[in-house]
Amino acid sequence: MAKKRPTRKQASTAKTTKEQKPEKQPLFFQLSVTALILLIYGTFLAHQADLTKGDLGRHLKNGQLFVQDLWIPTHNLYSYTYPDHPFVNHHWGSGVVFYLIEQVSGFPGLTVAFIVLSLITLLLFFDVAVRYASFSLAAPLTLLALPVLITRHEVRPEVFSYFLAGLFLQVLLGYKSGQLGFRWLFCLPLLQIFWVNLHIYFFVGFFLVGAFFLQSLIEFWRKKDRDDWVRVKFMALALFLTLLAACLNPSSVTGALYPFLILKGYQVPVIENYSVHAVLQEGIRFLPFPYFAIVFGLLCVSWIYAAVKAPRTLSLANLLMSLFFSLFAWWAIRNFAFFGYFAVPLTAMNLKSSAGGEGKVSSSPSMLKISAVLVAIAAVLILINPVYLLSSGRGPRGVGLESANNAAAEFFLKEKLQGPIYNNYDVGAYLIYFLYPGQRVFIDNRPEAYPTAFFTDIYLPLHLNEQKWQSVSSSYGFNVLFFNHRDRSSWGEQFMIRRLLDPAWAPVYFDKSVLILLRRNGPNREAIARFELPKEKILEQPN
């Protein structure tokens, strides 16, 4: 009996079914590549913490004061030089979160929590690139951005800014595209309440809502459509409530305005606050810069491509975000990571027509091509600067604290050394964490917590002028000098050498980060007798 030939409709259905089966394979491939990218990012972030630099120690102490005493410091209580100087405690909430995690799971748990939140943040931006462009664009662009993102690999409050910015972007794009209802907009003011108490970059929330509000306003002006007018009203209300929410912090309106005032009193040349121009002008070897230049160049090219390919579909909000985060990065190298997160989806959305548009998996490059592109990108990134990617100074791999990171503080406490302490800028947070309230610091890495005159008339001059040092030392009666001897400034390094050569001071402790000297005719003579070190051996050690 002859087989019955299928009808055209049946053949079409069978063909469609046959074509749809392989879609499971691309999904598995996409999940595998995504997991690999997240694994690479997490590996770069998995470094042990060093409390002798950065400000994590101070954040933890802030958190301890709040949890134990419900106290949010508004004066510089950690320092004996200006204990009554007021300041805006703009990231007290981060300290509370860090402290609670550290109390429950220790420093290893704190590192893991930071890595997990960073991975979720990357996934938020990656998902935007996939949903509003394509996976074949999102994966290579994200891989390219990883060397830029890892410029901020330490546990810092700004991780909350990255995460919340990703949530804002998800909600705003979802509402603009019609995937989310207007009620989602009212999550943004709630998120802003957390943001303003977690990190000073909360003003990015204003900007993001404002950019999409302007976008909706322009669309209404062009079309005069009633639905667009409703969208304008909802966006305006969301912007107003977001601005209002920023005032819900311990310093109220002053706290909401503080991001625009904080740098007014910054007199210490902190490298992370340098502009790209300043870094290049001073000849500082900033290893991530080539990677930033690549990602920035791609973003610029994508806008040229989009303007030529489909000028009528250009998004004002996307353009404003591209300009803002690019300028943000060029203004201060500490903002490279923020730029990197946004550059991925913005570049992908501009280039989406080259990959077949949104959601068109069938027109995207094959798995083999994508894999080849990813491998090639990884190879090129390593070849550009293997020192940065494979053996940079991010610290020992792993989680928790570096080995013996608390040894200098334990030596100080065990030997019951008596202050006052002179310490340099970088190590202040370390001393706050281990020694407060028994000992207070001369300075810590919060320029905003000290008057400008303290830096211009005291701290900076005493490093450069020996007579100034003698005057300040006599005035404060220093008994202990506590240095992070890996000071990057030439004047800081020369000052430490002079103190080592000064017969009035005796070195008693030295490790890879910390140098402690005691005044010979002070109250710590017994410790000098037991632990004095030969100065020559310390001077011979490389920094």
Q: HSE (CB half, 13 Å, CA atoms) of 529? A: 6
Helices (H) and strands (E) counted in the chain, each on its own, are 24, 4
Interatomic CA distance for residues 380 and 536, integer angstroms: 44
Q: Which pLDDT value is given to residue 360?
A: 44
Q: Which pLDDT value is given to residue 316?
A: 94
Interatomic CA distance for residues 468 and 10, integer angstroms: 93
Q: Which two tokens stand for residue 321?
A: 């975000």
Per-residue pLDDT of 244-269, as tens digits, reads: 999 999 999 999 999 888 777 666 77
- Position with higher pLDDT, 439 vs 23: 439
**Would you say residue 54 has pLDDT above 70?**
yes
- Position with higher pLDDT, 492 vs 60: 60
- Position with higher pLDDT, 96 vs 394: 96
Contact 53, 486 (CB under 8 A): yes
Least confident of 46-60, 265-279, 336-350, 425-439: 265-279
Q: What's the predicted TM-score (pTM) here?
A: 0.90
Helix ranges restricted to H, 202-251: 203-223, 226-245
Q: What is the mean pLDDT of residues 501-514?
A: 93
For residue 82, give the amino acid letter: Y
**Would you say residue 14 has pLDDT above 70?**
no
Per-residue pLDDT of 24-45, as tens digits, reads: 448 889 999 999 999 999 999 9
Q: What is the 3-state secondary structure (H, E, C) of 444-457?
A: CCCHHHCCHHHHHH
Least confident of 119-128, 389-398, 402-411: 389-398
Q: Which pLDDT value is given to residue 416?
A: 95
Q: Which pLDDT value is given to residue 357?
A: 46
**Would you say residue 380 has pLDDT above 60?**
yes
pLDDT band at 173 (very low <50, low <70, confident <90, very high): very high
**Would you say residue 5 has pLDDT above 70?**
no
Contact 180, 233 (CB under 8 A): no
**Would you say residue 132 has pLDDT above 50?**
yes
Contact 353, 311 (CB under 8 A): no
pLDDT band at 478 (very low <50, low <70, confident <90, very high): very high
pLDDT mean across residues, the chain = 89
**Would you say residue 146 has pLDDT above 80?**
yes
**Would you say residue 188 has pLDDT above 80?**
yes
Q: Which pLDDT value is given to residue 536?
A: 85
Least confident of 177-186, 307-316, 527-536: 307-316
Q: Which pLDDT value is given to residue 12?
A: 45
- For residue 330, what are the contacts with CB-CB under 8 A and spacing of at least 6? 275, 276, 277
Q: Which pLDDT value is given to residue 358?
A: 44
Domains for the chain: give ranges and CATH numbers. Answer: 29-263+271-390 (no CATH), 407-540 (3.40.190)
**Which residues, in sequence order, are bridge partners of residue 49?**
401
Q: Among the ranges 14-28, 165-179, 392-406, which has the highest mean pLDDT value?
A: 165-179
Interatomic CA distance for residues 418 and 265, integer angstroms: 31
CA-nearest of 163, 153, 250, 248 to 204 is 163
Q: What is the mean pLDDT of residues 225-252?
A: 92
Question: What is the torsion angle, in degrees rounded to the nearest 10, for the CA atoms of residue 19, residue 22, residue 24 and residue 29?
Answer: -140
Interatomic CA distance for residues 312 and 319, integer angstroms: 13
Interatomic CA distance for residues 423 and 77, integer angstroms: 16
Q: Which pLDDT value is given to residue 396?
A: 86
Least confident of 164-173, 304-313, 526-535: 304-313
pLDDT band at 1 (very low <50, low <70, confident <90, very high): very low
Strands 421-423 and 480-484: parallel
Q: Which two tokens stand for residue 195?
A: 């943001």
Q: What is the mean pLDDT of residues 496-504?
A: 92
**Would you say residue 222 has pLDDT above 50?**
yes
Q: Which two tokens stand for residue 23?
A: 């879609």
Q: Which pLDDT value is given to residue 110?
A: 97
Q: Which pLDDT value is given to residue 185?
A: 96
Contact 429, 54 (CB under 8 A): yes
Range 169-185 burial, b when 16+ CB lie within 10 A, else e: bbbbbbbbeeebeeeeb
Q: HSE (CB half, 13 Å, CA atoms) of 348? A: 28
**Would you say residue 23 has pLDDT above 60?**
no
pLDDT band at 543 (very low <50, low <70, confident <90, very high): low
Q: Which pLDDT value is given to residue 102?
A: 97
Per-residue pLDDT of 311-366, as tens digits, reads: 888 899 999 999 999 999 999 999 999 999 999 999 999 998 655 444 444 456 77
